[in-house]
Amino acid sequence: MMDLEYPPYGGGSAQSTSNQQDFDHYYGGSYGGGASISRREIIEHFADFRRAIHEGPVSLVQHYYNSNYETMIQNYNTDWPSAEALKEHVGDDQLFLTLYKEMYFRHIYASKPGGVSLEERQESYMNYIDLFNLVLAKDHPLKIELPDQWLWDIIEEFIYQFQSFCNFRTKLAKRSDDDIEQLKRNMKIWNVHAVLNVMHSLVDKSRIVEQLEAVKKGVPFHSGGDSFCQTNLYKMFGYFSLIGLLKLHTLTSDYYMALKTIECIDLDVTKQNDVCQVFHCIVATNYHAGFCYTMMRNYEDAIRVFVDTLIYVQRSKPIMVAQTFQNDAVNKTADQMMTLLAICLTLNPMRIDETIYLHLKEKFIDKLPKPLLSVGADGKLPFRDNFAYACPKFISPAPTIFEQRNDSQWAEPFNRQIEVFTEELQEQAYIPDVRSYLKLYTTMSIDKLATFMEKTPQEVKPLLLTFKHKLSGTDTANKTEEDFQSSADIDFYVDKNIIYIADTKITRRYSDYLVKQILKYEELTRSLSEGLNIRHAGNK
Amino acid sequence: MPPVNQPRTNTRAEEVARKLKGIERYNPNCRPMLEDYVQYQIDNNFYDFDANMALLKMYQFDPVNFQGDKVADILLLALTNLPKSDFLLCKYLLDSQKCQENPRIVEALQFSELLESCRFQEFWEQLDRASVKISGFENRIREFICQTINRTYQTISRQELQLALGRLSANEFEGLIKARGWKVLADDANYIWIANHEENIKSRNIVEKIKFEHVAPVMHTA
């Protein structure tokens, strides 16, 4: 049981905030815009919701949770009733009110992305602390059951709001003096240590790492009488917190720690699906893991993860329709992964799944500048835009220097990441050229290569060594037949002054295509004959 | 090839690892211990990437505590773990301005650039001008260079190999060749045999194998 460090939330007393004005006008009844749902209906809806949470079953809760968003999103500019208004009708149910407030603030962040006020951010933070205290600081697990989707959304939103706060406190050009004073006085709110503390507490409480490692090894997990780790609520909170940490470490550019945190998770989508059925969570996990691999120069693993996930997204399109408000997020993440995949394949060409490759060629590869680091007419690097689209929105965990009243502290994390990544690419700048010349021959003297590249032989030799250094992921001796099939398309060695080149030619696979067409044709024939039969029957 | 990352049977390493479990990793009180530990690694030809990253993370969280010299030490230690991308991972956590202000960090960055683009001769020249006091540094860099040469060359000229391996006496040079199982060519003492790549690196033609299970769905009696 961890005592989360925060100034005690003054219970109900801190309520006379600007929200009071907002909901006063609800007593008038009608809402602006959208289909009119009366205030009474909303309150009743939440009262029912609350009952479902306490009595179950969890599928009913899921239903309420999903319909919540559908109705509310249609009335996008509707303000939700404040917790106070609800309290009158549902009683002093601390747990429900905290959960409700979490959704309330989520709606606020969604409906005014740029304009969430400092007070709202602080209140939301306090509410999270309340919520996590309710979950963690008990001797027995909470008795309610919440759908996994909701648990994931809570953790996701928590990290998102932290990220949003970091942006808020570093974009100082437009901050009012009042806000800056407030920020200075409340350094503990949305402090990175507090956020880490929450995540780690949830992970520890659920002993999720132990559980996952047991699954990996195929041995049963012995909880030893610990009721917390057996409860689904805690187990999934723990799992989602691991992903939350993955995201947090990626945002603060600690790719080593990010990957280390999810060591216990097998990134294969089918294996992930066994533990976690939340579609968006799997996509987010693999996006961040793949991004970390890309930054670490581990292109092969990045490519495998991206392709795996993109196939999974394509296959899951029918299911996606059911989960409404997540769809945009998933589609955007899929696009980002495509862009990153395009970058990785440019740096480390290898054979991948046909369908993904075709889609990639159509839409993404042409968007990348060739070569990657070419400078545009205006002296800028077009590659920056591609990278900026595909990368997570980095933040700096360091305290803000309020005296610098400009946006430089906000821009710095991204600039640093792209700077280092670009330096890495510059070290690899000549590799594509070397590759294209080597592909033309089976043997070539170093002098000849030097002539092609307009360099001296002495300059060319390091390029060959760099090629091997950067792109041999694993030790050549360990590579098996299988590995050669799927990885780099070209290999070579140098004997005295001659380069001996080996390339891998793969004949076109047509069996898949033929089988698909045959099945389609059979389907067509079948439906035609059925149609004709019905017509006959009808004509009789 | 002997692994560069020694197994953690070292009790000091175990102690540090214990202190860095879970949320304690971010506890600012750990900082002096981690800074001392960097010196320990330097003096004892040891390397602990995880602990060093924890220290860099602390500098990221609290830039007022940034110690340029410690960062330079960590970067040099990371170089000894090439070809792994430890150095790159460290770079992402560092503030560019602070790096430019410390000459030892700038030097480490230059070393990295030379080693990553395999300009070994220039690296040794630059190392001569600097003073790196890390025990075992040269040997571990040489290990990396030998690995890379092993991957690339089947036969290499003696002169090139000597330049790539830096300042070695004739005895040391011969010793290294023997230790790695390399041989001087019988018919031409100017060349040294590195590895048999002819066996492994050959053109291959991958032909599709159509498995029965694949076409079974379409093979059924009408």
Find the CATH number of the domain harbouring B43. Answer: 1.25.40.250
Residues B171 and B103 in one domain: no
Q: What is the mean pLDDT of chain B?
A: 85
In-domain check, residue A465: no
**In whole angstroms, what is the distance from residue A517 CA to residue A372 CA?**
38
Residue of B60, B89, B214 lying closest to A515 (CB–CB): B214
Residues A169 and A283 in one domain: no
Longest Cα–Cα distance of chain B, Å, equals: 82
In chain B, whose CA is at the least distance from the CA of A204?
B22
In-domain check, residue A487: no
User: Chain B within 8 Å of A482 (Cβ-Cβ)?
Assistant: no
In-domain check, residue B134: no
**In whole angstroms, what is the distance from residue A49 CA to residue A63 CA?**
9
Task: Give the residue from B127, B142, B170 where a domain finishes.
Answer: B127
H/E stretch holding A389 reads: helix A383-390
Specify the range with the lowest mean pLDDT, choosing from A8-12, A281-285, A296-300, A483-487: A8-12
Residues B182 and B112 in one domain: no
* B107 Cα to chain A: minimum distance (Å): 16
Report the Cα A212 to chain-centroid distance in Å: 20
Segment B70-102, tens digit of pLDDT: 999 999 999 999 889 999 999 999 988 889 999
Specify the range with the lowest mean pLDDT, choosing from A134-148, A192-206, A261-275: A134-148
Residues A409 and A292 in one domain: yes
Q: What is the mean pLDDT of residues B126-131?
A: 88
pTM above 0.90, yes or no: no
Check whether A36 has a pLDDT greater than 50: no
CB contacts of A136 in chain B (<8 Å) are: none
Question: How many contacts (CB atoms, under 8 Å) link A and B?
Answer: 148
In-domain check, residue A240: no
State whether residue B76 is helix, strand or coil. Answer: helix
Residues B24 and B119 in one domain: yes
Task: Give the residue from A369, A392, A426 where a domain finishes.
Answer: A426
Residues B19 and B76 in one domain: yes
Task: Give the residue from A390, A406, A426 where a domain finishes.
Answer: A426
H/E stretch holding A417 reads: helix A408-427
In-domain check, residue B2: no
First and final C-alpha spacing in chain A: 77
Q: Do B92 and A469 touch (CB under 8 A)?
A: no
Residues B201 and B110 in one domain: no
pLDDT given at position A538: 65
Residues B157 and B115 in one domain: no
Q: Do B116 and A399 touch (CB under 8 A)?
A: no
User: Chain A within 8 Å of B60 (Cβ-Cβ)?
Assistant: yes
Q: What is the mean pLDDT of chain A?
A: 80
In-domain check, residue A283: yes
pLDDT given at position A20: 37
Residues B159 and B123 in one domain: no
Token pair, residue A191, equals 């402090």
Residues A167 and A64 in one domain: yes
CB contacts of B202 in chain A (<8 Å) are: 502
For testing contact with chain B, the best of A256, A297, A301 (most B CBs within 10 A): A256
| DSSP track, A442-478 | SEEEHHHHHHHHTS-HHHHHHHHHHHHHHH--S-GGG
pLDDT given at position A539: 64
**In whole angstroms, what is the distance from residue B76 CA to residue B105 CA?**
9
Closest Cα to residue A264, out of A205, A202, A213, A214? A213
Chain A from 260 to 299: CB within 8 A of any B CB: 260, 295-298
In-domain check, residue B18: yes
- Look up the domain containing A315 and give its range: 266-426
Return phi, psi of residue A490, to 5°.
Answer: -140, 145
Please count the other Cβ atoms lying within 10 Å of the Cβ belonging to residue A339. 21
Alpha helices, DSSP H, located in B20-63: 31-43, 49-61
Dihedral sign, CA of A99, A102, A108, A111? negative
Query: Any idea of the CA torsion for A136, A137, A140, A141, to the nearest 10 degrees?
Result: -20
In-domain check, residue A456: no
Specify the range with the lowest mean pLDDT, choosing from A67-71, A289-293, A408-412, B36-40: A67-71
In-domain check, residue A112: yes
- Look up the domain containing B167 and give its range: 153-217
Residues B87 and B182 in one domain: no
Closest Cα to residue A18, out of A79, A77, A99? A79
**In whole angstroms, what is the distance from residue A269 CA to residue B117 CA?**
36
Q: Do A193 and B26 touch (CB under 8 A)?
A: yes
**In whole angstroms, what is the distance from residue A188 CA to residue A198 CA?**
14
Q: Which of the four pLDDT bands, split at 50, 70 and 90, describes residue A187?
A: confident
Closest Cα to residue A200, out of B30, B48, B26? B26
Please count the other Cβ atoms lying within 10 Å of the Cβ belonging to residue A196. 21
Please count the other Cβ atoms lying within 10 Å of the Cβ belonging to residue A307. 21
Check whether A310 has a pLDDT greater than 50: yes
CB contacts of B120 in chain A (<8 Å) are: 462
Domain count, chain B: 2
Q: Do B206 and A507 touch (CB under 8 A)?
A: yes
Domain count, chain A: 2
**In whole angstroms, what is the distance from residue A386 CA to residue A343 CA?**
9
* B39 Cα to chain A: minimum distance (Å): 22
Residues B119 and B49 in one domain: yes
Q: At what angle do helices A94-111 and A148-170 cross, to 10 degrees?
A: 50
CB contacts of B22 in chain A (<8 Å) are: 200, 203-204
Q: Which of the four pLDDT bands, split at 50, 70 and 90, describes residue A366?
A: confident
Residues B21 and B100 in one domain: yes
Residue of A252, A424, A465 lying closest to B152 (CB–CB): A465
In-domain check, residue B145: no
CB contacts of A411 in chain B (<8 Å) are: none
- Which range is most confident: A293-302, A503-512, B212-221? A293-302
User: Chain B within 8 Å of A519 (Cβ-Cβ)?
Assistant: yes
In the beta sheet, which residues pair with residue A232? Answer: none
B76 or A505, higher pLDDT = B76
For testing contact with chain A, the best of B21, B58, B117, B144 (most A CBs within 10 A): B117
Residues B161 and B73 in one domain: no
pLDDT over 70 for what percent of chain B?
93
**In whole angstroms, what is the distance from residue A326 CA to residue B21 CA?**
34
Closest Cα to residue A123, out of A13, A201, A209, A30? A13
pLDDT over 90 for what percent of chain A?
25
User: Chain B within 8 Å of A397 (Cβ-Cβ)?
Assistant: yes
H/E stretch holding A385 reads: helix A383-390
pLDDT given at position A432: 87
Q: Do A494 and B63 touch (CB under 8 A)?
A: no
In-domain check, residue B3: no
- Between the CA of residue A60 and those of A63, A65, A66, what are the distances in Å? 5, 8, 10
pLDDT given at position A74: 58
User: Chain A within 8 Å of B111 (Cβ-Cβ)?
Assistant: no
pLDDT given at position B34: 93
User: Are the beta carbons of A118 and A189 closer than 8 angstroms?
Assistant: no
Return phi, psi of residue B155, to 5°.
Answer: -140, 135
Residues B15 and B60 in one domain: yes
Segment A254-276, tens digit of pLDDT: 999 999 999 999 888 888 888 88
Q: Supply the ipTM of this predicted assembly.
A: 0.87
Task: Give the residue from A391, A426, A461 where a domain finishes.
Answer: A426
Strands B191-193, B153-157: pairing is antiparallel
Taking phi first (over 0 means left), then psi (-120 to 50 degrees means alpha), and beta for anything else, what does residue A56 get? left
Residues A279 and A152 in one domain: no
Residues A158 and A280 in one domain: no
A426 or A223, higher pLDDT = A426
Q: What is the mean pLDDT of residues A287-292?
A: 96
Check whether B167 has a pLDDT greater than 70: yes
pLDDT given at position B192: 81
User: Chain B within 8 Å of A522 (Cβ-Cβ)?
Assistant: yes
- Give me the amino acid identity at A50: R
In-domain check, residue A340: yes
Segment A372-394, tens digit of pLDDT: 777 777 777 788 888 999 999 99
Q: Do B205 and A420 touch (CB under 8 A)?
A: no
User: Are the beta carbons of A269 and A282 closer than 8 angstroms?
Assistant: yes
User: Chain B within 8 Å of A503 (Cβ-Cβ)?
Assistant: yes
Q: At what angle do helices A279-295 and A232-251 cross, to 10 degrees?
A: 30
Residues A275 and A410 in one domain: yes
In-domain check, residue A89: yes
**In whole angstroms, what is the distance from residue A342 CA to residue B73 CA?**
36
Q: What is the mean pLDDT of residues A34-51?
A: 70
Chain B from 161 to 190: CB within 8 A of any A CB: none
> How many CA atoms lie within 13 Å of A168's alpha carbon, on the beta-carbon side?
25
User: Are the beta carbons of B58 and B43 closer than 8 angstroms?
Assistant: no
| DSSP track, A122-154 | HHHHHHHHHHHHHHHS-SS--S----HHHHHHH
Longest Cα–Cα distance of chain A, Å, equals: 89
Check whether A477 has a pLDDT greater than 50: no
